[in-house]
Structures are given as C-alpha cells and as structure tokens.
Amino acid sequence: MTERLAKAVLPLRRVFACVLPSSPGVIATFVLCSVAFAQSSADPQELVRQAVGNELASPFLPDNCSYQYHREGSGRHETLLMVKSSDLVVGKLVRIDNAPPSRDQEQKENDRLRRLLHDSDLQQQQRRKQQKFEHYVRELVAALPQAFHYTETETEAAADGRRLIHLAFQPAPDFHPATTELELLRGMAGAMVIDDQRKRIVRLAAHTFREMDFGWGLLIHLNKGANLLLEREAAPRLGFDLRAFSVTIEGRILLLKKLEVHWSFDHFASLGRTVDLASAVGLLTAPDLAGSGPGLLSH
C-alpha cells in the first residue's frame, strides 16, 4: 500500500517541485494530505454500519415539529399540515389541487380533529398506525448494511470543512430478507452521502431497477421505477436537520386493485416548545392557521 501510494505521489511531487523547488517537504505534505482527503480511509460497509447505528439511536422525526405532507392519487393532489406532538402525529387537509378546501371541508377536518382529541379509541388506532409505519422505516434502515454492497465514488468538502462521502450501492447477492416487506431491497440500487464527522446519512436516493412480485405475484406487483429519497440539511439547525422525504410506488394488489403511493414530506420545522395533543389540535383548528406558529403555512 505504501509503495503504491509513493508511486502515485511521485509524479505530483515532480510537478510541484518545478514550481517550488526549495520546499520539497511542504510539497510532499500537501500532496499526501490531498490524497488522504480525496479518499476515505474507512471501509464503505463499516461506514454505513456506523451511520445506520446512529440513525437507529435517534428518532426519525423529533417531537414538537410541523411539516407538510403531500399525497397524490386518482388525479388529485392533497397537502396536509402535520404536527408531531409529544403524544401523537395529527394532520389537517389544507390544500386540494393547490387550492384551499371549501368551508364544509374545513369544518369536517376541524370536527375530525376535535373528535380525535376526546376519543381515546381513535387515539389508540392512530398511535398503532404511527408505530407500524415507524417500525417499518426502522426495519428498512437497519437492513441497509446487509442489503447492499457499497462503493465509494467521491469525497466532497462541505462548506464548514466536514467531509461528505459519496457511495453507490447495489443489492448484495447474499442478502436474505427477514420479512416479506424487506424483499423490496433486493430490487433497489442508488446512491448515499454520509457525513464522515457526524456519521449520519445526509442523502439517500434509491430506485427499483426491475419489476417485483410479493406473495408469488398474487398479492402485490410493483412496477419498475419506484423511488425513495431522504435529504438532510448539511448544517443542522438545533439538531433538526430533516429537509425532505419522499416515496413513489406504483403497481397492483391482488392483480386487480391499482397501487399508487406518491408521498412527499417537506417544510420541516421545530415548534420551539413542547406541544401536547390538545395544543396540536388547537394549532391546526385555529381560525388563522397561517399565523399560528413557526413552521406552519405562511401562504
């Protein structure tokens, strides 16, 4: 390894020696540092394992925040304003095809939220759905080190000097999914960016490169071209760094029913205080929703 590195550095030393012949030691130090920065010393698989460990050690989305949830289906685009309180995630429909809902629709949304506030059974149903989704996301993240083979493609210097390591990934031939849901990973490939200092995933972009069947093709068929995207801020704001998360999946269920998942989440913001369920419902049902607090809709 030392001999190969010396051979790689020698031509560069000769070039710089023509410019600064009196400072060979400085030149050698500069070149060696440049080579060390250009390539990460960490094994890509180990780097991913460390990053995934840190992801699993913290919540995917912290409490007391707001964000927008966009969904598409049957030719209709809806935007919901979501609040993750210390108790539950709640949301309200605020745009339909880029227009505000009618008065009747808004009243129905407000009534639904107030009913949720006073109905413990509804709260428990919502909590189970939330836990199921979070469990699946964590299961997918936990499988990343085993499901793919990673190759470093480049190293980028962030604005503050931190190192961002770019990785490409392909399915690992020896990966055996523990659950049916994880079968999806066997048909995915993509790219990942890891903050080498924080050991956190800054960006994850994956896509399915082939059609996939689950349950021998009788239960779910997924079309080629499904996409998954996760992006974080390069410089975290008070520990809150999620920028965007999106999922696009198309296919069929039971060979008949059309499957469409077009979800995207953005405009994440901290509410700056502890918000319980009652406060979250109060924010979402306020007459002037746009002025209710930081991170909420301003247009």
Does the pLDDT at position 32 exceed 60? no
Q: Which residues of 127-152 are buried (b: 16+ CB within 10 A; e: fewer)?
A: eeeeeeeeeeeeebbbbbbbbbebeb
Helices 120-147 and 44-56 meet at what angle, rounded to 10? 170
- pLDDT, tens only, 117-132: 999 999 999 999 999 9
In a domain, 280, yes or no: yes
Mean pLDDT over residues 74-101, rounded?
Answer: 91
Helices (H) and strands (E) in the chain, counts: 6, 12
Does the pLDDT at position 6 exceed 70? no
Count of CB atoms situated within 10 Å of the CB of 173: 7
- Concatenating the DSSP letter of every residue in 198-227 gives TTEEEEEEEEE-S-EEETTTTSEEE-TT-E
As a whole-number percent, the residues of the chain with pLDDT over 90 amount to: 51
Return d(Cα 85, Cα 62) in angstroms, integer. 9
In a domain, 48, yes or no: no
CB 260 within 8 A of CB 75: no
CB 206 within 8 A of CB 228: yes
Q: Name the residue with tokens 């030393």.
A: 13
Q: Which residues span the domain enclosing 17?
A: 2-38
Question: 65 and 25 in one domain?
Answer: no
In a domain, 44, yes or no: no
Question: 103 and 32 in one domain?
Answer: no
Rounded mean pLDDT of the chain? 81
Question: 27 and 141 in one domain?
Answer: no
Does the pLDDT at position 15 exceed 70? no
Q: Could you tell me which residues come within 8 angstroms of residue 209 by beta carbon, excluding any fewer than 6 positions away? A: 187, 188, 189, 224
Return d(Cα 157, Cα 164) in angstroms, integer. 6
Question: 259 and 138 in one domain?
Answer: yes
- Number of separate domains in the chain: 2
Residue 114's pLDDT band (boundaries 50, 70, 90)? very high
Return d(Cα 25, Cα 2) in angstroms, integer. 18
The sign one gets for the Cα dihedral 78, 265, 112, 72 is: positive
Residue 212's pLDDT band (boundaries 50, 70, 90)? confident
Return d(Cα 181, Cα 142) in angstroms, integer. 13
**pLDDT higher at 43 or 253:** 43
Does the pLDDT at position 75 exceed 90? no
Question: 12 and 108 in one domain?
Answer: no
pLDDT of amino acid 285 = 93
Residue 218's pLDDT band (boundaries 50, 70, 90)? low
Question: 152 and 233 in one domain?
Answer: yes
Question: 79 and 6 in one domain?
Answer: no
Classified as helix, coil or strand, 183 is helix
Residue 193's pLDDT band (boundaries 50, 70, 90)? very high
In a domain, 43, yes or no: no
Question: 226 and 172 in one domain?
Answer: yes
Classified as helix, coil or strand, 251 is strand
Return d(Cα 116, Cα 282) in angstroms, integer. 12
Question: 93 and 19 in one domain?
Answer: no
Does the pLDDT at position 238 exceed 60? no
Cα distances (Å, whole numbers) of residue 234 to 54, 95, 133, 163: 16, 30, 26, 11
In a domain, 297, yes or no: no
Return d(Cα 296, Cα 65) in angstroms, integer. 10
Question: 174 and 104 in one domain?
Answer: yes
Look up residue 146 and give its two tokens. Answer: 């085993």
Look up residue 299 and give its two tokens. Answer: 């247009």
In a domain, 22, yes or no: yes
Question: 225 and 157 in one domain?
Answer: yes
Question: 189 and 92 in one domain?
Answer: yes
In a domain, 47, yes or no: no
